[in-house]
Structure 1
Amino acid sequence: MGEVETWLRRLMWARGASAAGDGLWFTIWALYFTRVGGLPPVAVGVAMAAAGAVGLVAAVPLGALADRFDARHVLAATTTARGLAMACYPFAEGTWAFVLVTVVFVAPANGGNAARTALLTGLVADDGERVAVLARQRVAQHVGYAAGAGVGALVLGLDDPAAYSAAITANAASFAVLTVIALRAPTPRRPVGRFASPLRDRPYLAVAGTTAVLSLCWAMLSTGVPLWTSRSLPLSLSGVLVVISSLGVALLQVPATRLAATTSRAARTAAVSGAALAAACVLLALSGDVGRHAGVAVVVVAGLLHLAGELGYVAASWRLSLSLMREESRGAYQGVTEAATATAQMVGPAFFTAGLTAFDAGGWLLAAAVFLAAGSAVPALTRRAERSREPTPA
């Protein structure tokens, strides 16, 4: 195994460690803020919204810094800032202190993801291998997140301030692991050529924005399905679908990258993924009218279709974002992709909550139409973006 392969593996495990911290934190944060911190839920919501908005704005500039400077250092800086902010939570007294710490913790996340992708793509030149590397990173992320969530469940069971403090310390330590590994990794290849702003690359923006719509599949699973199944189906059913999704990603995300072996195949895969997610939505719309036992079976089938759509969407998104980006500005381009996905994630819970509340089963049909339209548009938009690419100078 060569030096680069060794460090790619270490970066994968470091990603798993930081994801374990994320899983631990996002399992306990709501109760920690309200029960231990004594903060009103409205303040928590406002802080998270403000931090998310800052993160959207910061993603492209932080990605551009990874192009201008060493991507390792930008990744280490954003990770360190988040780790220090996490360590400050027990000392953040008052609403404004809490808002400040939350902004510092949440806002660099998207830019840090862009810097990490810039680092990985700077270590690997071939787009196909880059997608495979990102797939292995995602598997490590899911395994780590599940392990962290399991520990978080134990913390919630204890419901003790000391347990919450220990969890915060563990999460801060997980960021330190990623920082150390990032700083010790080999120096990535520096982008060659003049910086090109992705914000002026309309064909790329169109592909990134449209593909990001398919990331609503995560809000569909975390928000839409629990709201829907709680009406007449077992409450545990949404948890079963989360388990199916997590296991499926861990087992199948790497093989699924073959569906995006080329740019054109990735575009077609995005279209098929949109159709699969739309079909899952249609089944969910029907599940409320077929009886309890049949409804459970229909929801499980919808969960399998959701998994297929998620796997295809993620693989296609990676390939399209890498194949269509300007190599000399890869960090900034990945920042655009991160910002587009984060925007969809911010809108997602409200989209499913409002749709299912206002239109009942019709909310699922609306979601199906959105998934189908977004996926169907990707191939044509990709061909347009490919035509706009200029040949790399010899």
Structure 2
Amino acid sequence: MPAPSNISTDTGKTPPPLSPAPRHWLAAVFADRVLRLLAAGTLVSSIGRGVFMTVTVLYLTFIVGLSVAEVAVVLTAASAVGVATSMLGGILADRVSARRLLVSFVAIEGLALACFPFAGSFWPAVVIACLVVGGNRGANTARSAIIGRAFTGSERVGARAVLRTVQNIGVAVGGAIAAVPLLINTPQAYYATTGVAAAATLASMFITVRLPGRVDAARHADSTRAPRGGRSVWKSPRYLALAVLSALFGLQFGLAEVGLPLWIAHRTDAPIVMVSILLVINTVLVIALQMPLSRGTHDLRRAGNVVAIAGITMALTCGIYSATAGVGPGLAVALLAIGMTAHTFAEILSSAGTWGLSYELAEPERVGEYQGMFAMAFSIGMMFTPGIMALTVIQNGMAGWVVLATIFLGSALGMTAIARRAAVNAGQPKT
């Protein structure tokens, strides 16, 4: 696929070429203005996100007083809104200023976080959670569209890897901040912490508003009403299949966040503190390895091969996790640590491979729409994750792990087949 135009929409002139990709991700952040601003904004907003992710369920349960069923409804409704805003953000990013769109979604998320102390009952909690998650998912899609326009080829995957590394750092910091209300356990502590989350999210808005005009769609920048080129994502069966398969493999995120904690609590003799330890293992490995393991995945064949390795690794990981049932606490802890290490490698490789494919197989003129579809499919998968985890590993044990392993391996090999066919059509030589 041809790369998107790198023509500046601020002046109509070609901007200076991006610096060669630095070897260290921190150097990459300072090498380009767009990446520098995106990284700074992502770091600050991720601190707020980390706080929100850590305290939300406990806040709704212990402070608002919702039942488990009501909390599940709140989170499901919020996820459903996130599905819609994921696609909406992508469509709008091709039609309006992506910078202003990103700022608008971040503002919605931040203001909604600031309203959490007023969520004193079920329905206000539903509305506020929907605004928070909707704003966050829309902002993520807008960022993806911005990356698609500001960078080309390997630079896109490198930029996504940098932002994911920065995001993990921010979420870790936010999680540490959220430990304060968990220790104090008073309504006032929760209110103050959600205020910190809101302030961090809104602060990121003032960073991203400084992005240059070249990240906007050419149609918006030129103020023309000419029809956009490129085929609609709804008319691209290959891309739709890629999005669906990627969403299926994305269940591995839900496994780490929902399935594994429940498995540890109900099916193993490992101490429950292993949930936190496994999160630390995952975060540290992603920060350390996302950048180096993402190199070269803009190449279609390499992206396909990387995803295949991720699928095989994830299938083996399911076997390791399943072996933790019925063994002593010490062995269960060791197996869980080994499993999370393999799980994280699969997560890193799959992310890198699907990033490359999601950009290289998209129509350059509709990068926002295509990224919106990709994000929407992922959001749909995450919405159904709790139910899928309950039906597989929690209720059916070994049989459930076999089903999950089959899903991971099958979806990965499907994406690999798409990548290889696309490489042949593009005339890429076999390596």
Q: Which whole-Å CA distance do the structure 2 matches of 1:294 and 1:381 have between them?
A: 40
Return the letter of the residue paired with 2:418. Answer: L
Q: Which whole-Å CA distance do the structure 2 matches of 1:336 and 1:388 have between them?
A: 23
The aligned runs of 1:17-56 (5 Å cut-off) are 17-56=44-83
The superposition leaves residues 52-106 of structure 1 with CA deviations (integer Å, 9 ceiling, x where unpaired) of 1122123222211111111101101111111111112223454333322222222
Q: Which whole-Å CA distance do the structure 2 matches of 1:92 and 1:292 have between them?
A: 40
Contact 2:297 2:352 in 1 (8 A): yes
**Pair 35,254 (structure 1): closer, same or farther in 2 beyond 3 Å:** same
Question: Which residue pairs with 2:242 in the alignment?
Answer: 207
The aligned runs of 1:245-324 (5 Å cut-off) are 245-258=282-295, 260-289=297-326, 291-324=328-361
Further displaced range: 265-274 or 57-66: 57-66
Question: Which residue pairs with 2:257 in the alignment?
Answer: 222
Question: Which residue pairs with 1:361 in the alignment?
Answer: 398
Q: Which whole-Å CA distance do the structure 2 matches of 1:233 and 1:33 have between them?
A: 27
> Aligned with 1:188: secondary structure?
helix
Return the letter of the residue paired with 1:43. Answer: E
The superposition leaves residues 157-190 of structure 1 with CA deviations (integer Å, 9 ceiling, x where unpaired) of 1112222221122111112222111211111242
**Pair 43,229 (structure 1): closer, same or farther in 2 beyond 3 Å:** closer
Further displaced range: 341-350 or 140-149: 341-350
Contact 1:321 1:337 in 2 (8 A): yes
Say whether 1:173 aligns with 2:203. no
Structure 1: runs of 5 or more not aligned: 390-394
Question: Which residue pairs with 2:370 in the alignment?
Answer: 333
The superposition leaves residues 127-152 of structure 1 with CA deviations (integer Å, 9 ceiling, x where unpaired) of 20111011111111001101111110
Question: Which residue pairs with 1:118 in the alignment?
Answer: 145
Structure 2: runs of 5 or more not aligned: 1-17, 20-29, 220-227, 427-431
Further displaced range: 346-355 or 304-313: 346-355
Question: Which residue pairs with 2:24 in the alignment?
Answer: none
Q: Which whole-Å CA distance do the structure 1 matches of 2:110 and 2:396 have between them?
A: 42
Report the Cα offset of residue 37 of structure 1.
Answer: 2.5
The superposition leaves residues 186-227 of structure 1 with CA deviations (integer Å, 9 ceiling, x where unpaired) of 112424742642122211010121022221111222223223
Q: Which whole-Å CA distance do the structure 2 matches of 1:17 and 1:75 have between them?
A: 14
TM-score normalised by length of structure 2: 0.84
Question: Which residue pairs with 1:62 in the alignment?
Answer: 89
Question: Which residue pairs with 2:224 in the alignment?
Answer: none
> Aligned with 2:239: secondary structure?
helix
Structure with the largest fraction of helix: 1
Contact 2:79 2:382 in 1 (8 A): no
Q: Which whole-Å CA distance do the structure 2 matches of 1:300 and 1:40 have between them?
A: 32
Report the Cα offset of residue 345 of structure 1.
Answer: 1.6
Report the Cα offset of residue 274 of structure 1.
Answer: 0.7
Contact 1:355 1:362 in 2 (8 A): yes
Report the Cα offset of residue 362 of structure 1.
Answer: 2.2
**Pair 226,51 (structure 1): closer, same or farther in 2 beyond 3 Å:** closer
Tell me the number of residue pairs that the alignment of Structure 1 and Structure 2 aligns: 389
Which of 2, 16, 19 is residue 43 of structure 2 equivalent to?
16
Return the letter of the residue paired with 1:270. Answer: V
**Pair 304,5 (structure 1): closer, same or farther in 2 beyond 3 Å:** same
Question: Which residue pairs with 2:223 in the alignment?
Answer: none
Question: Which residue pairs with 2:160 in the alignment?
Answer: 134
Report the Cα offset of residue 234 of structure 1.
Answer: 2.7
Q: Which whole-Å CA distance do the structure 2 matches of 1:342 and 1:357 have between them?
A: 22
Percent identity for Structure 1 against Structure 2: 30
Contact 1:224 1:349 in 2 (8 A): yes
Which of 165, 169, 185 is residue 143 of structure 1 equivalent to?
169
Q: Which whole-Å CA distance do the structure 2 matches of 1:253 and 1:241 have between them?
A: 17
> Aligned with 2:213: secondary structure?
coil
Say whether 1:102 aligns with 2:129. yes
Contact 2:50 2:173 in 1 (8 A): yes
**Pair 290,78 (structure 1): closer, same or farther in 2 beyond 3 Å:** same
Question: Which residue pairs with 2:12 in the alignment?
Answer: none
Return the letter of the residue paired with 1:162. Answer: Q
